[in-house]
């Protein structure tokens, strides 16, 4: 029996004990990464491949279990590069208690395609985080810090090498994101039922939460947990944190008291912040309060789109 909706981060089906959660994601050379980017190694590519999939399990509050890896690689690729790629995959898998159970390898005359399918579980009694079920008046919270990975990607796409400590931090966030697996589990165990990851952008994920319920949202610009250097050095830095993608943090919605309790528990267990950034509203559309003034934000161009 399939228990997730078509717009959730991963499929779910019942098992003898609890439920199984499954997800699959690919990284395509030239689209998701470029080998000429400074400092990008095959080991980091392997770590990132696992991270983007682990983030989908985190978005459901699941425990990672097993992975299947499918790689389409050119025959000219050096054996040491293939070895480093698998080293990165296994490092990140071990970190989160995930077994690499098998997979497939194929040659290609085109760009490399790196794919992982991950399977996790929801123990009996732990309900998955979902994008459906939000209510007007609920608070919105987001884990961690926003804006770093998108800033790093901007540097790379502009052909620039990171020169400052801040720029190196941004590029590192792009190359080697940390999936919030423990945070997803903690949020689910704290009674939060609505959430997801923001890899496609915070705005896009809030839209996916609010839209099915016929709701909107008000975001407080000065409450967004932006990277300190971005907030200091860039005008309207909140726009990047809200509209751009690449952060592998979690956003969730619940009554304020539930989020406050989850906030304390998350810091105690993960040393990770959960910041209240706004409220779901009965009025449709997403607005942000900047310097005391509410500004409506159109969805066009917000977040990541695979075909744009």
Domains of the chain plus CATH, in order, are 11-122 (3.30.1330.10), 139-297 (3.90.650.10)
Stretches where the chain sits below pLDDT 70 are 1-7, 11-16, 299-308
Per DSSP (E only), the strands in 123-256 are: 139-143, 194-197, 216-220, 250-254
Res 6: pLDDT:
58
Pairing verdict, β 285-290 and 216-220: parallel
Alpha-carbon distance of 274 to 207, in angstroms, equals: 19
* Burial of 105: CB neighbours in 10 Å, binned 0-12, 13-18, 19+: exposed
The predicted structure's pLDDT at residue 2: 47
- Cα(247)–Cα(147) distance, rounded to whole angstroms? 7
In 3D space, the residue among 296, 185, 194, 171 whose CA is nearest the CA of residue 242 turns out to be 296
**pTM score, whole prediction:** 0.90
Q: Work out the angle at residue 184's Cα, subtended by the Cα atoms of residues 223 and 267, and round it to the nearest 5 degrees.
A: 55
CA dist., res. 41 & res. 58, Å (int)? 25
Write down the pLDDT at residue 86: 97
The residues, any chain, with a CB within 8 Å of residue 259's CB and separated by 6 or more, are: 139, 141, 192, 252, 274, 276
**Polymer length in residues for the chain:** 308
* Residue 220 · residue 295 · CB < 8 Å: no
The token pair at 87 is 């080293």
Distance, CA of 212 to CA of 262 (rounded, Å): 24
CB 172 within 8 A of CB 248: no
Q: What is the pLDDT of residue 1?
A: 43
User: Do 271 and 183 meet the contact criterion of CB atoms below 8 Å apart?
Assistant: no
Give yes or no for a contact between 216 and 207, defined as CB atoms under 8 angstroms apart: no
| Dist CA 16 CA 124 (whole Å) | 9
């Amino acid at each position: 029996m399939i228990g997730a909706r078509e717009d959730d981060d991963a499929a779910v089906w019942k098992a003898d004990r609890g439920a199984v959660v499954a997800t699959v994601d690919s990284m395509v050379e030239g689209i998701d990464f470029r080998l000429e980017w400074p400092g990008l190694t095959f080991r980091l590519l392997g770590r990132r491949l696992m991270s983007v999939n682990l983030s989908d399990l985190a978005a459901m509050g699941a425990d990672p279990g097993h992975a299947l890896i499918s790689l389409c690689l050119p025959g000219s690729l050096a054996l040491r590069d293939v070895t480093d790629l698998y080293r990165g995959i296994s490092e990140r898998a071990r970190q989160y208690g995930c077994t690499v159970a098998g997979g497939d390898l194929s040659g290609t005359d085109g760009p490399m395609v790196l794919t992982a399918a991950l399977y996790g579980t929801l123990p009996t009694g732990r309900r998955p985080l979902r994008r459906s079920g939000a209510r007007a008046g609920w608070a919105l919270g987001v884990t961690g810090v926003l804006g770093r990975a998108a800033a790093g990607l901007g540097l790379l796409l502009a052909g620039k090498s990171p020169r400052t400590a801040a720029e190196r931090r941004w590029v590192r966030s792009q190359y080697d994101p940390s999936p919030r697996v423990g945070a997803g589990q903690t949020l689910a165990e704290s009674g939060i039922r609505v959430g997801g990851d923001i890899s496609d952008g915070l705005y896009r994920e809030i839209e996916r939460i609010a839209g099915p319920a016929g709701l909107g949202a008000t975001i407080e610009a000065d409450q967004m947990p932006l990277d300190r250097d971005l907030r200091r050095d860039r005008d309207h830095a909140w726009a990047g944190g809200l509209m751009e993608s690449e952060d592998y943090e979690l956003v969730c919605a619940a009554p304020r008291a539930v989020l406050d309790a989850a906030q304390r528990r998350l810091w105690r267990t993960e040393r990770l912040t959960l910041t209240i950034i706004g409220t779901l509203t009965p009025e449709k559309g997403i607005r942000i309060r900047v310097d005391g003034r509410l500004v409506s934000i159109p969805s066009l161009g917000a977040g990541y789109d695979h075909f744009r």
